[in-house]
Amino acid sequence: MPWVKCHICSKDFYAKPRHLKIGWGKYCSDKCKFIAQKKGKFIECSNCGKKVYRALADFVNSKSGLFFCNKSCHCSWANKNLHLGINHPRWNCGEASYKQSFFRNYLGEKNVEDVALKIKEF
Ligand SMILES: [Zn+2]
Ligand SMILES: [Zn+2]
């Protein structure tokens, strides 16, 4: 009678001799087999720190190496880190140029010196 130990929960169970011959009989149940086949890891969400399970393929395909629990979590992270300042798609070249175009467009200032004075006062 071939009694074998489960590789996951180390419980003794009976495996059929013909199953052992072809390399089966490693796990006592489907539940243990399922755990053994899981190759991914639990990783912390890069935004909120919540633990999430990611499969091995996700680690291989990830370009940034960052993981998020859901899409909205990723968006709030991107707003804080990617679309800020110089990384923003509408970034011009800095605060001063923003103020200049603001005064030109909204206050109708044509003279550049006037605009520069307004910026100093602002
Ligand atoms: Zn087991
Ligand atoms: Zn999250």
- In angstroms, what is the span from residue 47 Cα to ligand 2's centroid? 5
Calpha distance 2→81 (Å, rounded): 58
Q: Rounded to two decimals, what is the model's pTM? A: 0.47
pLDDT tens readout for residues 4-40: 999 889 999 999 999 989 988 899 999 999 888 888 8
Look at the alpha carbons of 58, 60, 66, 72 in this order and tell me if their dihedral is positive or negative: negative
- In angstroms, what is the span from residue 111 Cα to ligand 1's centroid? 81
- In angstroms, what is the span from residue 41 Cα to ligand 2's centroid? 16
Of all ligands present, the nearest one to the C-alpha of 71 is: 2
pLDDT tens readout for residues 35-69: 888 888 889 998 898 998 888 888 888 888 888 99
